[in-house]
Amino acid sequence: MTDLLQTPFHAMHVDAGAKMVPFAGYDMPVQYPDGIKTEHLHTREHAGLFDVSHMGQALIKGEAAKSDLESILPLDLDTLKPGHQVYTFMPNAQGGIVDDLIVTCWDETTYFVVFNAACKEKDVAHFTGLLSASTSLELLDDRALVALQGPKAVTVLQQLAPECASLVFMTGKHMSIDGIECYVTRSGYTGEDGFEISVPAAQAEALAASLLASPEVKWIGLGARDSLRLEAGLCLYGHDMDDERSPAEAALGWAVAKSRRVGGDKEGGFVGADLLFAKQRDGVAEIRAGFLIDGKAPVREGAEIVDEDGEIIGRVTSGGFAPSLNAPIAMGYVSAPFAIIGTKVSALVRGKPRPMTVAKMPFVPQRYYRG
């Protein structure tokens, strides 16, 4: 696999003893010698450092950037002030989802977007196909991205960049960390308080070294990133949503800005709006739900969900062992009448039904810092 891309932290991962695997075209660390369970629990108790440089970072700029983005995404950018960010999804014209992403307003003509590694090409194609001629999309290929996540993240980062403590969840700021110019947001994909730091590739290793100098901070691989986000009830594109699933089925209606919903001041007007509204009006056949599994056997992606008569009523899209709960958990799509919290269903694991209960997500309390 000589054609795999490497992030600027690649040598550091190898030095740290990481098990490297191909992921979205990159050679990425799935775990370090401590293992996924220990890395997961370390993040929940201390601070974990994640290399997420494989993700796409771009600036969308221009006088028409705001109106262009509002025609592509179900956002209200009049309410997104500079230094604030929002989770959103990019609907396609067929009623599915191109990708999910975070949009941060740098100023009224400059928006910073972060999107999934595996979707980079199609996202760029989708954006460029819809942006006005005067709006530019600049891929920030020369920047790395790291996430520092966990209850000690703020204590650690504050030592190097005191300003970071003034950020609240889903806000960001340009700041210098130990002399390195970065863009820092208070956000993440673990359910914990923490930061995502965009850093020039040339200074990425120096930044990681400064952060790792704290005994609270350890590298965390993609394995624990997945178990952490699943416990936090967060979707993974390509698994829990895709080009075909409606945002209504994915239970992402909350991510549509109030003004863009039916009856809002700026109702609709984004790609796929009519299809989304129709699903919301007519109801969906299947909906995304969380599951707590009886016993210890993990229920994994692809497992069929059945009712008490053995009829197939859905499918698991993410599943695994939750280290913080010391139990298996899953996320998946079930026929709407079963998607009520407390409903007993089963998943077929090696042909045997494993009882499970529809559960509220997140599975663990979110600990975002809201000021």
Q: Determine how β-strand 136-139 pairs with β-strand 143-149.
A: unpaired
Shortest distance, position 212 Cβ to other proteins, whole Å: 22
Half-sphere exposure of 368 (CA within 13 A, CB side): 16
Shortest distance, position 350 Cβ to other proteins, whole Å: 7
C-alpha torsion angle, residues 280, 91, 52, 155 (rounded to 10) = -50
Site residues (CB under 8 A) for other proteins, limited to 314-343: 320-321, 323, 328
Shortest distance, position 298 Cβ to other proteins, whole Å: 5
Assess contact for 30 and 221: CB atoms under 8 A.
Answer: yes
Shortest distance, position 224 Cβ to other proteins, whole Å: 9
Give whichever of 42 and 126 is closer to other proteins, judged by the CB atom. Answer: 42
Q: Determine how many CB atoms are found less than 10 A away from the CB of residue 294.
A: 13
Terminal Cα distance for the chain, rounded: 46
- List CB contacts of 215: < 8 A, sequence separation 6 or more: none
Q: How far apart are CA 88 and CA 91, in angstroms?
A: 9
Residue 164 is classified by DSSP as G
Q: Is 150 in the site for other proteins (CB under 8 A)?
A: no
**Binding residue for other proteins (CB under 8 A) from 31, 190, 210, 346?**
31
Report cis status (omega within 30 of 0) of the bond before 33.
no
Site residues (CB under 8 A) for other proteins, limited to 225-244: 227
Give whichever of 36 and 217 is closer to other proteins, judged by the CB atom. Answer: 36
Q: Is 223 in the site for other proteins (CB under 8 A)?
A: yes
11 burial (CB, 10 Å; 0-12 / 13-18 / 19+) is exposed
Q: Is 296 in the site for other proteins (CB under 8 A)?
A: yes
Shortest distance, position 319 Cβ to other proteins, whole Å: 11
Would you give the binding string for other proteins spanning residues 177-216, x where CB under 8 A is met? Answer: ----------------------------------------
User: Phi and psi of 65, rounded to 5°?
Assistant: -55, -45
Q: Is 41 in the site for other proteins (CB under 8 A)?
A: no
**Binding residue for other proteins (CB under 8 A) from 298, 314, 356, 364?**
298
Q: Is 35 in the site for other proteins (CB under 8 A)?
A: yes
Residue 77 is classified by DSSP as T
Shortest distance, position 35 Cβ to other proteins, whole Å: 5
Shortest distance, position 37 Cβ to other proteins, whole Å: 4
Residue 3 is classified by DSSP as T
Q: Is 122 in the site for other proteins (CB under 8 A)?
A: no
Q: Is 172 in the site for other proteins (CB under 8 A)?
A: no
Q: Is 348 in the site for other proteins (CB under 8 A)?
A: no
CA–CA–CA angle 128, 117, 329 (5° rounding): 130
**Binding residue for other proteins (CB under 8 A) from 5, 16, 59, 297?**
297
If binding means CB under 8 A, how many residues of this protein chain bind other proteins?
Answer: 17
Q: Is 37 in the site for other proteins (CB under 8 A)?
A: yes
SS3 content of the chain, % helix, strand, coil (to 5): 25, 35, 40
* H/E element, 43: helix 36-45
Site for other proteins, rule CB under 8 A: 30-31, 35-38, 223, 227, 296-298, 300, 320-321, 323, 328, 350
